[in-house]
Amino acid sequence: MFNAWGRTVAAKRGVVLVVMVAAMILIAGAGHLFGKEFTQGGFEDPKSGYATAEQIEQDAYGRDAMGDVVVLYHAPGGNVDDQGFLGDVSSSLEQLQQSHPDDVIGVTSYTQNQSPQLVNRDEGFIVASVQLAGSGDEVLPHFKAIEDDLGVDGAETQVGGLQAVAGAIDEGMTNDLKRAELIALPLVFVLLVVVFGGLVAAALPVLVGVLTILGALGLLQLLGIIHPVNSFANNVVTLIGLGLAIDYGLFVVSRFREEMAAGYAPPDAARRSVATAGRTVAFSALMVGVTLSGLLLFPQEFLKSVSYGAIAAVLLAALLSVTLLPAVLAMLGHRVDMLSVRKVLARFIPRLREDSGPRKAVAPGQERGFFARIAAFAMRRPVIVTIPIVVVLLALIAPFSGVKFGGINETYLPPDNDTRVAQEAYDSAFPESRTDPVKLVVTGADSTQLTEIRNEANDAPGLTGTFQFARSGETDEQGRDVTVLQASIVDRNDADETVEYLQKFPIPDGTEVHVGGNPALEYDSIQALMDGLPWFVLYVFVATTILLFLAFGSLVLPIKAALMNLLGLGATLGVLTWIFVDGHGASMLGFTPGPLTSPVVVLLVAIIYGLSTDYEVFLLSRMVEAKTRGVPTNVAIRSGIARTGQIITSAALILIVVTGAFAFSEIVMMKYIAFGMIAALIIDATVIRMLLVPAVMKMLGEDCWWAPRWMKRIQERVGLSEAELDDEEHLLPSQGRAELDGRSGQAAHEDGEAHGAATAATTSTHDDGEIDTAPEVPGYPGAKDHASAETKAPAAEAKRPSIKRRSVARSYAPGAAQQPPAAGTPAATFAASPSAEVAVDSSTGGAEFSAPEAPVEDAVSGRENPAAGDSDRYGRHAGRDESISAKDLIARVREERK
């Protein structure tokens, strides 16, 4: 399917480019013109006791607006009885009501009634409460309309209240978004230039990222027409959309350059990139989308709206990566490497000159470089690598046992923020009349029953004082009296015992008591999340396991991936708790330690798990691709990490830059999202994927691919398995085929006189000095070169490549026990047994032979070589007891290819 899709995209590349760009611009424009403003709410459980209390109170009395805005007016000299000062405040408030009749529905101030609850003589200020019009998300815009008109000339004015705090947090998140767009994008482009070595190739993932953000934000605004969307979704869409779009762009562009290096024409390279990398991208997007869809199991509208926006961003990123991006690549062709920075630097840095030349195709097992060495290191010492990593990750998880959850309040602002300072000053001066009290909404109670209820409620722990009558005299739809009692809590971050008591204390028969207010909202929200969390974990685990199995045909790999994801996720949550709850580094980072916002933590869990699965899909796809070409498991593991290591770490680094822009946020919630993402990416993309994965898979060995036979049959019928795209040599120019490197698992050498026949039994030397021989890979580009080389020089005259060190040489031939070559035996016909130690030198054209006393371990796997008789039809992975000539080996390969 993806091969056919890639063919269509390459053939209609101009049309695809225009259509996709126009579609993203159209969606963004439609969202801007017709979309609805984002909201600030959605954190409550609609079926909770808090929601019921709020609904009953609003139906009877309307919204409680007393805590919307509280203004502190400081008298000059501290004399709150100064008549001139009082007159100026009174005139200002009257003018406010007259100039904003649609925004302000009432004002209560000390200048009106001289209430002792509205004056603090010790601090020298009086208080005014400004009630705003509207309900829900309509209120904040009214505050922004009057915000600049609350001051009084000649008097210091401080503004606090629920809407003032919400406005400050909203402004902080808006600034974060601008910072991410203005700072992160240029830095991401610089990183991509470093990764790709050229300006053109680096610009392509950024193009996909920008278009993804445009389209996703447009869809999010359009979604607001039918579903409330929290403003926080705006930031999440930017983070996820930009990060994954660049990840997917990295993967597709890298694959395109590989196909071009193999000699394919640009349209064919684009088609093959869609068929391979495009399929992986689509499957990865499906996995991430399924993980994010788990948020829909929770009742909070906040999580639902963020889930919709994030899923839209993921799907758009994948869609653009398999349509617009390959279309542009097919147009560019070799020009994708234009404006190469690496070539310019190579003029001044000699070590870069080799890398600045044309790219060459490399067979599985022939990869070199840092990540290949890292994988080889982890696989040589799997137990030594695994145990310390697991111990450290478990140690990082430990602080999570002390996690605390809470709601959003002024402490999420910086300590010196004006709104936070005003709110804390008001709460300190009037502890019994705070703007976020706990409420009891009582229905069907007479005066005697109300007294009984009030006396029982006053025994609740953690109150600053007794419950007071806030509202009374109205009835509900059934004609029952509705009375509202309220009291303040000493510590809002430790209100669980208070709310639990109020929800359970005995009440008179025939009455109903519902607990409301912000403390009840936070408590009920946390309980709803805790109730839904096991179902979320079960859903994500089952769904991702099934999808990974259908893709890769293994039951072991999905379980292994889930366990490693949980290790990384737990370590991340432990780091967050250690920093933001325990307060380590609080003064340096500029925040106040406190509880984590539970809905945001759940969102972070979904994002991190989705990204971890995304990287796992990238890694496994290349391992399975190598495995389907016939290489052993150890070589497939090494090949997968060598080919995706740079992509995964580069993608993680780019996401770190994007989220790092949010680390400078003034909002604590954004800080711990940023630091959580950074910690997760560092742990997952380096420690887990590059070290723990190869070590564990090495210990599992062939069991990595295990699944019950009946499940295998289901997977084959469904047809989601990783498809191997055969090499299409008829599309390659003859010269290009002859120049391909790494054509088989053996090292390809040409010394100017003869090559090919001699390479059939030669080992390859990696950068770290390890001698490794990958198996013959049937169907890999250039496999026929062995036959062509044979015709150029007789085998008896072929020179052996120079390998100065002594090593274990492994052949690919079955048969009886190997003996040293007889005098005069052509060097090319000798294939050493795995039990033979050979030193080969081109200057002698022969070999020294010594039979070891004990079986020799495989240089890569660390295990003894298989016994005789275990050979396949190419002589791979066998006892290799019988020699085979290069000519016969080539004949077998050619027969198989037919």
Per-residue pLDDT tens over the stretch 97-143: 999 999 999 999 988 888 888 888 888 899 999 999 988 778 888 99
Per-residue pLDDT tens for 409-421? Answer: 888 888 888 999 9
User: Do 480 and 552 fall into the same domain?
Assistant: no
Mention every residue, 6+ apart, whose C-beta is less than 8 A from residue 469.
483, 484, 485
814, 868 Cβ separation under 8 angstroms: yes
For residue 137, being part of any structural domain is answered with: yes
pLDDT band at 182 (very low <50, low <70, confident <90, very high): confident
Cα–Cα distance, 160 to 166 (Å, whole number): 10
Provide the residue range defining the domain that includes 117.
68-160
324, 211 Cβ separation under 8 angstroms: yes
What backbone torsions phi and psi does residue 394 show, to the nearest 5 degrees? Answer: -65, -35
- Percentage of the chain with pLDDT > 70? 77
pLDDT of res. 96: 92
User: Do 548 and 521 fall into the same domain?
Assistant: no
pLDDT of res. 826: 41
pLDDT of res. 631: 84
313, 244 Cβ separation under 8 angstroms: yes
For residue 745, being part of any structural domain is answered with: no
User: Do 586 and 706 fall into the same domain?
Assistant: yes
Cα–Cα distance, 364 to 809 (Å, whole number): 19
pLDDT at 760 over 80: no
For residue 68, list its beta bridge partners. Answer: none
User: Do 588 and 714 fall into the same domain?
Assistant: yes
For residue 764, being part of any structural domain is answered with: no
Among the listed residues 679, 719, 692, the one whose alpha carbon sits nearest the alpha carbon of residue 560? 692
Please state the rounded mean pLDDT for residues 809-831: 38
Torsion of CA 876, 879, 882, 885, to 10 degrees: 20
Per-residue pLDDT tens for 205-222? Answer: 888 888 998 999 899 889
107, 128 Cβ separation under 8 angstroms: yes
Which tops the pLDDT comparison, 616 or 880? 616
For residue 889, being part of any structural domain is answered with: no
- Domain limit, last residue, from 657, 688, 723: 723
pLDDT at 90 over 50: yes
pLDDT of res. 594: 86
Cα–Cα distance, 295 to 126 (Å, whole number): 45
The mean pLDDT value of the chain amounts to 78
For residue 833, being part of any structural domain is answered with: no
Cα–Cα distance, 290 to 542 (Å, whole number): 11
The domain tally of the chain equals 4
Edge-to-edge strands, sheet with 468-475: 468-475, 481-487, 438-443, 512-517
User: Do 666 and 702 fall into the same domain?
Assistant: yes
pLDDT at 63 over 80: yes
User: Do 240 and 329 fall into the same domain?
Assistant: yes
What is the CATH number for 137? 3.30.70.1430
- Domain limit, last residue, from 702, 723, 744: 723
In angstroms, the first-to-last Cα distance of the chain is: 25
User: Do 256 and 294 fall into the same domain?
Assistant: yes
Residue 226, Cα to own-chain centre: how many angstroms?
Answer: 28
Cα–Cα distance, 440 to 502 (Å, whole number): 8
For residue 267, being part of any structural domain is answered with: yes
For residue 284, being part of any structural domain is answered with: yes
Mention every residue, 6+ apart, whose C-beta is less than 8 A from residue 728.
264, 268
User: Do 342 and 249 fall into the same domain?
Assistant: yes
Beta strands in 216-359 (DSSP E): none
pLDDT of res. 691: 93
Give the burial class of 472: count Cβ atoms within 10 A of its Cβ; 0-12 exposed, 13-18 middle, 19 or more buried: middle
Beta strands in 311-445 (DSSP E): 405-406, 438-443
Cα–Cα distance, 405 to 591 (Å, whole number): 16
User: Do 149 and 232 fall into the same domain?
Assistant: no
Per-residue pLDDT tens for 13-33? Answer: 899 999 999 999 999 999 888
pLDDT at 754 over 60: no
Among the listed residues 227, 225, 230, 192, the one whose alpha carbon sits nearest the alpha carbon of residue 208? 192
User: Do 264 and 332 fall into the same domain?
Assistant: yes
User: Do 401 and 431 fall into the same domain?
Assistant: no
Cα–Cα distance, 144 to 146 (Å, whole number): 6
pLDDT at 573 over 90: yes
Per-residue pLDDT tens for 516-545? Answer: 998 999 899 999 999 999 999 999 999 999
Cα–Cα distance, 619 to 637 (Å, whole number): 9
What is the CATH number for 231? 1.20.1640.10
For residue 44, being part of any structural domain is answered with: no
User: Do 554 and 701 fall into the same domain?
Assistant: yes
pLDDT band at 351 (very low <50, low <70, confident <90, very high): low
- Domain limit, last residue, from 723, 743, 769: 723
Residue 680 structure tokens:
């997760």
